[in-house]
Amino acid sequence: MLNDIDYEGWLQQNASSPKVAAGRMENVWTLVDSIKSTMERDDNEDADGEERLNSAIARLVLQDLLDRQDEEDLTDRVQLMTLHASKGLEFPHVYLIGMEEELLPHRNSIQEDNIEEERRLTYVGITRAQKTLTMSLAATRKQFGEKNQTTPSRFLDELPEVDLEREGFGEVNPEQLEKKKAVTMSSIKGMFDD
């Protein structure tokens, strides 16, 4: 593909010098070689080429994420990531945001009647939590200037009710809400003391 689109020629034309273009092309070939060697080491021989490529890229992204974590001091920081990038990692406190139909599972997966991958990713997110897991959803969302009611994700209904603690479903008294805000903020601050 790189040869077909003449990427190296494009780099030569648009780089500030031939040396810069050569360095950039070398980086591209290093990435291609990394993907190739990761695919060759893939132990899932039943997977097709696309699945193996996706797996290789996911491993490289995870490795990059882990390398960056080693380089940085992540004390007292919030780390945002996709469910795909969280595979293989664990965190003391996990927040899954947007647990609504058309977000998780995504609208495209619903339309294509293909939500199993979304269900698996939700499971990945849930199992990243070591101490606490908080899942949130909005009652309404504004989209294209229009306020719309949302529907809770079907995946919430698949969780054991005994393990859930629901908040914000139904009428809320303003005094209770202020008290709950104070307790929640205190709890969040306490997490950083762990």
State pLDDT tens for residues 121-148.
889 899 988 998 888 888 888 878 888 8
Higher-confidence residue of 154 and 163: namely 154
Helices and strands (H, E) in the chain, number of each type: 7, 4
Q: Residue 194's pLDDT is what?
A: 56
Distance CA 23, CA 30 (A): 11
| CB contact at 8 A, 98 and 135 | no
Label the pairing between strands 146-149 and 129-136.
Answer: unpaired
pTM of the model: 0.50
**Residue 155: how many other CB atoms lie within 10 Å:** 21
Distance CA 183, CA 171 (A): 19
**DSSP-based helix, strand, coil % in the chain, nearest 5:** 50, 15, 35
Q: Residue 93's pLDDT is what?
A: 87
Q: What is the CATH number of domain 78-165?
A: 3.40.50.300
Find tokens 């849930």 and name the residue: 126
Q: Residue 114's pLDDT is what?
A: 85
Mean pLDDT of 144-160: 87
Higher-confidence residue of 8 and 35: namely 8
User: At the fourth CATH level, which superfamily is domain 1-76?
Assistant: PCRA; domain 4 (1.10.486.10)
Is the pLDDT reported for residue 67 higher than 80? no
Q: What are the structural domain ranges in the chain?
A: 1-76, 78-165
